[in-house]
Structure 1
């Protein structure tokens, strides 16, 4: 009897884990999973689709092989990735030096450049009040991991980045954070975070569908009340969903505001 697809995926995950020298509990901690039961399930059914990219990268195997496809477990390109921590390394952390790069530094394997979206102040005619508009800015780029895009289900051509301003989502997303946006995901999923063009102003909000419109919610709900907009408001105020925020990163100045 031939092996079922899920059986094969499970066996391949188990082999990759054994080759790494990590126990199930150690690998669960490495991926910041809540418990080891996920690893036990993966040995039987295979790694779920949304985690395959991260697991393949961590265990240094080809993603397609882990998915049960007829490809080698590893290739020369795979071997260029760093190996996972050894099982006897109780810390399970490997600290690599940061690599400095300039705009003209060639992209490495697995890297993708994201385009910048920004509020641009438009020149106003004499006696008129100027306004802003969200535009793609040529020049600045953000280097990003293709594996992360793949694990988040983001098509590279749909990925852009922007800068968050304001404390409406503090301390989850700090003011000055870089956020990555999937322009291909504009359908509202309740509770997800979206980048929004609100009459030319860039905003980041949790969105919730209402029978007659949408509700914008902030993580910092103590200072920022929910905002409800009906369909007429959406048209009148030029509210456009730019895409789902799937990643963000922050710097933390020494004199920054308290997080709690």
Structure 2
């Protein structure tokens, strides 16, 4: 495994963009000292993709200094001759036609067979199509849009267990009361988020009777590897049962 030497490159990227350590920490929702530590220790592996996307560089180059610095892109022509940006966080999305976009699907899965610990990864066997116009209406870049399953009933009855949710990875800054997807030490969670004093974060469930609020201080956010995947902009919920047709 190649060594993570991203610290100096990460620091240089911030300096080139005139972004202060404090400014980046505030945007990220953590303490400036944590960001400063990345200058020497390197960007944490579980945040490498997101930091690379934010800074518009290739994650492999940021991690090791090898390969192209530029983030990989694919230009996909549509049938009407238009060209759409097909960059993705973890590969590429494909355009089925000028009106529909095929979005990558992410899932929570065990780190290894039989393991209790999980992580969130791309599911190469599943995709979801959404109308391009819907994303454009919400000002979502297609390359930032991913999908995942809602796990559990903590957001019922608004988002039922098993629903598919659409996530905008381009919006990770917390807007109080909005729904976000987060990865919490490898777990995929869907919650209302609220900012708290001292860069703390409140996680709130729609099903608050069964799931009380959770509050995490800034230090706990780093310790428990909590990071925001993106804003939940869409969800699809199936009916709970097929109706019985009378008089048959």
Shared fold (TM-score, shorter chain, > 0.5): yes
Q: Is 1:107 matched with 2:93?
A: no
1:234 is aligned, of 215, 218, 221, to 221
What per-residue deviation string (whole Å, max 9, x for no partner) do you get for residues 163-213 of structure 1?
A: 001111111000010000001100000011000101100100000000121
Corresponding residue SS for 1:233: helix
Shift of residue 124 of structure 1? Answer: 6.6
Q: Is 1:139 matched with 2:125?
A: yes
TM-score using structure 1 length:
0.54
Residue aligning to 2:157: 171
Shift of residue 108 of structure 1? Answer: 3.4
Root mean square deviation of aligned Cα: 1.9
Cα distance in 1, alignment partners of residues 152 and 113 from structure 2 = 25
Residue aligning to 2:106: 117
Cα distance in 2, alignment partners of residues 215 and 185 from structure 1 = 18
Shift of residue 121 of structure 1? Answer: 0.7
What per-residue deviation string (whole Å, max 9, x for no partner) do you get for residues 220-241 of structure 1?
A: 1111100000011101111010
Residue aligning to 1:214: 201
Corresponding residue SS for 1:133: strand
CA contact (8 A) 1:112 1:143 kept: yes
Corresponding residue SS for 1:107: strand
**Unmatched runs of 5 consecutive residues or more in structure 2:** 1-79, 81-94, 244-248
Cα distance in 2, alignment partners of residues 219 and 130 from structure 1 = 26
Residue aligning to 2:176: 190
Cα distance in 1, alignment partners of residues 212 and 240 from structure 2 = 27
Shift of residue 255 of structure 1? Answer: 7.4
TM-score using structure 2 length:
0.57
What per-residue deviation string (whole Å, max 9, x for no partner) do you get for residues 40-99 of structure 1?
A: xxxxxxxxxxxxxxxxxxxxxxxxxxxxxxxxxxxxx8xxxxxxxxxxxxxxxxxxxxxx
Cα distance in 1, alignment partners of residues 170 and 106 from structure 2 = 15
Cα distance in 2, alignment partners of residues 131 and 115 from structure 1 = 23
Q: State how many pairs are aligned.
A: 149
CA contact (8 A) 1:199 1:237 kept: yes
Cα distance in 1, alignment partners of residues 233 and 113 from structure 2 = 35
CA contact (8 A) 1:179 1:245 kept: yes
Larger Rg: 1
Q: Which has the higher strand share?
A: 2
Q: Is 1:149 matched with 2:135?
A: yes
Cα distance in 2, alignment partners of residues 205 and 109 from structure 1 = 33
Residue aligning to 2:234: 247
**Unmatched runs of 5 consecutive residues or more in structure 1:** 1-76, 78-105
Cα distance in 1, alignment partners of residues 189 and 113 from structure 2 = 23
